[in-house]
Amino acid sequence: MPKPPDKNRRPQRGPKHRPKQQRFSKPKKEAPQPLPNTQEVEGMRLNKYVAHCGICSRRQAADYIKEGLVTVNGEKVTEPGYQVQEGDKIAFRGKLIRPEKKLVYLLLNKPKDYITTSKDERGRRTVLDLVGDKVKERIFPVGRLDRATTGLLLLTNDGELAEKLAHPSHKVQKLYHVVLDKALAAVDLDKIRNGLELEDGQALVDAVDYVQGNKKNEVGIELHIGRNRIVRRIFEHLGYEVVRLDRVYYAGLTKKDLPRGRWRHLTEKEVIMLKHFT
């Protein structure tokens, strides 16, 4: 008579009965989301609205609003925090403005004797003259390079990004090639490294050194402070004249394959890098 099965004994299974191991597919990396081309205006601050119209950065827009240059539905509004409502008609200097539908980012290698502004009342050549009518959107330069300074300059209609790049808290790196009227003494080089005390406060640099393979009157200086004419004033404070000043690096962007006086659109990768950089 056969023995009854042992309930505590596990049934023997051959290899073909082994349960299959569950396989987990690796999560797919999410593709970068496309950059937004439109902005919702309901409840948007007025200075942000003006910035999205490609006029200027949000900080500059706030100043324009306080100066009374912006109207809402024909009425002057001087409060940058005014909440824009759908259907509001907003004008800047008497002309209706609307948020740009397409965000544009240009990198320009500025030549000498061009003004870093959108328009010059004295009729001098501006950096926008180099772009001409090849870009239909209203764009403006981010930050400033003085008339004699050459090198990298960003042009855009993205007021939010311009605000981030210009704000000192983000410490956007800039590298300049400086040519002086005479050799820079080693003791003065150390003074610059340690930070000079100028009339508007201490000027701290991130790095400074002689340009390798050149004479001692050529210097590379890296900094993130953005005060007016700061590089020139650093050397003038020590008795040197800046003969040539060229910005060769800005916020991760370089002049590679960009001749003087020429410009190009940033790639999507570069735009994303700028947004994360800040």
Residue-wise over 183-212: b if at least 16 C-beta within 10 A, else e? ebeeebbeebeeebeeeeeebebeebebee
Structure-token pair, residue 29: 């990396």
For the purposes of burial, counting CB atoms within 10 Å of the CB of 115, is it exposed (0-12), middle (13-18) or buried (19 or more)? buried
E strand or H helix that includes residue 201: strand 201-203
Residue 230 φ/ψ, nearest 5 degrees: -60, -40
Which is it for strands 140-141 and 95-96: parallel, antiparallel or unpaired? unpaired
Q: Which residues are catalytic?
A: 146
